A and B are shown apart, each in its own frame.
Chain A
Amino acid sequence: MSAQSPLSPTEARALVKSALAAASFEDVSLRVTARRTAYLRFAAGAPTTSGEAARFEVSVTAAKDGRVATVSGTGRDAASLQALVREAEALAKLAPKDPEHEPPLGPQQYAKVAARDAKTAEVGPEGRTEVVARVLKVAREAKLVASGIVEHEDGVTVLANRTGLFALHAATEASLTTTMRTPDGKGSGWAGGASHRLAELDAQALARRAADKATMSSQGADALAPGAYTVVLEAQAVADLLGFLVSALQARAADEGRSFFSRPGGNAIGEALFDPRVTLRSDPADPRWPSIPFAGDGLPLPATTWIERGTLKALAYSRFWAHKQSKPPLPGPRSIFLAPADPAEGKDLLELVRGVERGVLVTRFFYNRMLDPRQILATGLTRDGTFLIEQGKIARPVKNMRYNESPAALLKNLVAIGKPERTAGDGMVAVVPPLVAKDFHFASVSDAV
């Protein structure tokens, strides 16, 4: 993998110009993504698959008189690009009217975001092998079986249209996750991290965290009776649940009566719904954890406070819904920062554990699914490190359990809040703290390790 960008700003502008030259509609917009991805997967203590892919995709949306169509392809030459524009226009002519289509945006101002790390873009097979070798060494020394993946990406996203919009975001992203298991399969531990800088991921420290959990659970686990428990959720477990709440921050679903945030005749903006220590923000220009500064339709993503000291302050409005409701449009978040309103409040994980008389420590959740959007009620299971806390100490491993619980209830039933950290996950930058909450509902026991 070379450090050369998969699509430089000059190349992007030339490509956009060439494609739009074929446009006859006023309203034609492009979305271009060029990504180099690479990974090394390992399992049973050795590499299993190793891959690199250079992907390229152009998506063209053409609209006229409310008739809209989108087509996408992988050809990068002028002829392919122009054929795509012509196909989008031809398809749009056939389309019935979409009354929710918004007119094209003009030029926009975006936050300056430095999200591409040249060193991460340069990493090749040797660099990935080094990371994995460090993890495998920890596993060998602890007599555990390691599996996991190190992956990184160098990607460029471009939006452009005929009315002067041009947005370009270049970003690297790297992550390492590992699961360590005892050879007899009785114990399992997980740890993971993500950053736009691969160098920021401490492979040895993550591996040790996973190994410690596997070893701590190696003597086999007892089953706890299902019921309501005080829980200490590690940051990853918080992120796993919180995603459901973040995707519910939509004004339309609320106004249409389909959401947790629905209220008779409107939505819950302004209501104190959560513990006053909770503040949830998004900020693409965060210096340590940068993320894309524009939404899919080209609108800038402003730094936004969604929940401030427990009160719902904002919901996302699409351009259509904003017009309809006479509100300013606000895109949904692409990064989330959950933090104590007072940063001094944030405690270390073990400090949190020390404050719990009896409870369950959860490493992460798995197979999480929404059950009821009106309550944001979700189900899923604990995985790879679940322990009973007694008198402020991690007493013993317990069997994994299924939960039926809402992240809204979690933020309401808060007992204590930890220091935020970046979690590993799909797509969104999530920087969240470990939390202690009471009355967390476990519905049944699982034999899975």
Chain B
Amino acid sequence: MGIIAPMSSSRRSFLALTGLCGAEALLHGPRAASAGQQPSRIPAPKSAPASADAGMALLAASRLLADESLLRTALAAATKAGASYADARLVLMRRERVGVRDDHVSGIGRSEDYGVGLRVIADGGWGFAATAERSAKAVEGIARAAVAMARQSALLMPQPVTLAPAPVLQGGWVSPFQVDPFSIAPAEKAELLLAAARAALAVPGVAHVDASVACVREEKLVMTSEGSRVHQIFFRVIPGLTTTAIDRRRGRFAGRDHEVAPMLAGWEHVTAADLVGSAPKIAEEALQKLHAAPAVPGKKHAILAPSNLWLTIHESIGHSTELDRALGYEANYAGTSFLGPDKAGKVKIGSEIVNLAADRTQPGGLATTAWDDEAVASQRWDLVKKGTFVGWQTTRDLAAAAGEPASRGCSYADSYASVPFQRMPNVSLQPGTEGYTTEDLIAATDDGVLITGRGSWSIDQQRYNFQFSGQFFWEIKHGRLTRPLRDVAYQANTVESGARVTCSEGQTRTASAAA
């Protein structure tokens, strides 16, 4: 891994993938749903966590139910217009964001985005149309428009779209949470953030603090022309705290972000992050960064904390194992993949101890769900097994294109107005079997850098060459953390760096990444 400083001759070649705060990030495990209220589910290889205790009541009170007939109208109109397949969805996104800067509120906002989207296959082509207007007339209009588009596209298609079979199912699910984040008043949220800002500003030398918390409630009802119906509600919370220290004399500044991760969770995740209690440390670390020694470019060993590694995995392995990219569907935009569509089971991309799993069932994961946007049950599967690439991320049409028997359940539409397509599941590096701790990894490193948190990043369109930074950097010398460093970035190649992973932390901690 190309980092900083001359080539070292340490005892072991060490690109270590470690766990520093992953365990805390998975606070709330599955909890049993109340007796008799378990939503119906088609068994998946490994299933999503049980629906939230309050789930059935939330689903029963859902505003979407009043508009459910629109989905039936849309599906019927599409079928009548000539669609051979259709899926329709009501999507209601509610967002709330409270932000503060230094001693004042910089913004309190709520938004609601609600409408209906319809996707069809007609004459073997795809068509999609969406509207914010929730009336029978409007959805009949989008049905005709979507079928007309599908037919036009089909004129230019050498072969029709086909879908891998999927069981017909009905169900409801609410992501586990303890405290509905929308039940906490915005003023209370602002007071918490202002208290955190005060605690950080109390550290001499800290010039500015930005803190915010965003809460998202995603509610979705999907129906297919095959008869599936799934109704789900997701809560996500995204806390953030950034402290900035400025050295005006030398014209320098340094920012330090709290490393708390966004989660599929309720307000309890914000409480557990203890923004007020941790603010002084984040502030002190901004000062440490400001006065840290600059890193010297060269080759070194990197120990990447999960708070840093998740994004590297997301970008390098997560995106390259998306089958739509490998098939060239994203060639003009996101890019393709260094893995060709015929490479599953044939390409070694890491050392024997590298095992990466895709998982849409993992508690707390941003991509965790019970069913995807095609009503396919969520699951867990191997992307990389003992260093060999073995599995793709797929949707129903991608699975059919690859000759696989069933979709992996990766279809997602991020709003009513977005066409569902293949999006990334949670992707995690599996812990090593030796049971190494972070301390073991540091102790075994002669000359290296410990990198935590997310920094700037950039990667090419086939996911080979990447350059990532981080939030905080510790120099490692002779097995000890010696001093903070600044301006550290690591540049490497997905395949080469995967091949050089020689040790990863044991225990139950993993780094994970999601779309």
Known: A147-B328, A443-B491. A95 touches B108 (CB 8 A): yes
**Which B residues touch A302, using CB under 8 A?**
none
Q: Is B467 an interface residue (CB 8 A)?
A: yes
List the B side residues contacting A258 at CB < 8 Å.
Answer: 244, 246, 253
Task: Determine whether the beta carbon of B131 is less than 8 Å from that of A53.
Answer: yes
Question: From A51, which residue of chain B is reached at the shortest CB distance?
Answer: B128
Q: Using CB atoms, name the residue of chain B closest to A380.
A: B458
When the two chains form their complex, are residues B153 and A50 in contact, meaning their CB atoms are under 8 A apart? yes
A46 to B329, CA, bound (A): 10
Q: Given contacts A55-B132, A59-B111, A149-B333, are A448 and B338 in contact (CB under 8 A)? A: yes
Task: Assess the A448–B465 pair: CB atoms within 8 A.
Answer: yes
Interface residue A132 (Cβ < 8 Å from any Cβ of B): yes
- The answer on a CB contact under 8 Å between A96 and B467 is no
Q: Give the contacting residue for A190; candidates B185, B332, B467; CB below 8 A.
A: B332
- Inter-chain contact B111/A367, CB cutoff 8 Å: no
Q: Is the interface of B mostly helix, strand, loop or mixed?
A: mixed
Contact B186 A145 (CB under 8 A): no
Given contacts A71-B109, A94-B186, A366-B335, contact A125 B148 (CB under 8 A): yes
Contacts of A395 in B (CB 8 A): none
CB of B110 within 8 A of chain A? yes
Contact A98 B460 (CB under 8 A): no
Cβ contact of A133, chosen from B127, B156, B190, cutoff 8 A: B156
* A57, B2: Cα distance in complex, Å: 47
Q: Determine whether A74 belongs to the interface, using a CB cutoff of 8 Å to chain B.
A: yes
When C-beta atoms are compared, the residue in chain A nearest to B100 turns out to be: A96
Contacts A74-B114, A129-B155 given; does A50 touch B332 at CB 8 Å:
no
Asked whether A323 is an interface residue with its Cβ less than 8 Å from the other chain, the reply is no
Q: How far is the CB of B123 from chain A (nearest CB, A)?
A: 11
Pick the residue among A42, A75, A98, A383 that contacts B104 (CB under 8 A).
A98
Which residues of chain A have C-beta atoms less than 8 A from B187's C-beta? 94-96
Q: What residues on A are CB-neighbors of B10 within 8 Å?
A: none
Alpha-carbon gap, A44 to B155, bound state (A): 15
Number of B interface residues, CB 8 Å?
79
A419 close to B (CB within 8 Å): no
Asked if A229 is at the interface (CB within 8 A of a chain B CB), the reply is no
Q: Which residues of B contact A243 (CB under 8 A)?
A: none
The smallest C-beta distance from A87 to any residue of chain B, in angstroms, reads: 7
Question: With a CB–CB cut-off of 8 A, which chain B residues contact A402?
Answer: 458, 460, 465, 467, 491
Say yes or no: is B502 at the interface (Cβ < 8 Å to chain A).
no
Q: Tell me the B474-512 residues at the A interface (CB within 8 Å).
A: 489, 491, 493
> Which listed residue, A42, A53, A95, A379, touches B458 by the CB 8 Å rule?
A379
**Interfacial chain B residues near A40, Cβ < 8 Å:** 149, 153
Tell me the nearest residue of chain B to A370, going by C-beta: B456
Does A315 sit at the interface, judged by CB under 8 A? no
Interface residues, chain B, CB within 8 Å of chain A?
A: 2, 104-115, 117, 125-133, 138, 142, 145-146, 148-150, 152-158, 185-187, 190-191, 194, 208, 244, 246, 248, 251-253, 327-333, 335-336, 338, 340, 417, 419, 421, 456-465, 467, 469, 489, 491, 493
What are 26 A-B contacts with C-beta separation under 8 Å? A37-B417, A43-B330, A51-B127, A51-B128, A57-B113, A72-B112, A87-B110, A94-B186, A95-B187, A96-B105, A96-B190, A100-B106, A125-B152, A147-B332, A178-B332, A185-B340, A257-B248, A379-B456, A381-B459, A381-B461, A383-B460, A444-B2, A448-B460, A448-B461, A448-B462, A449-B462
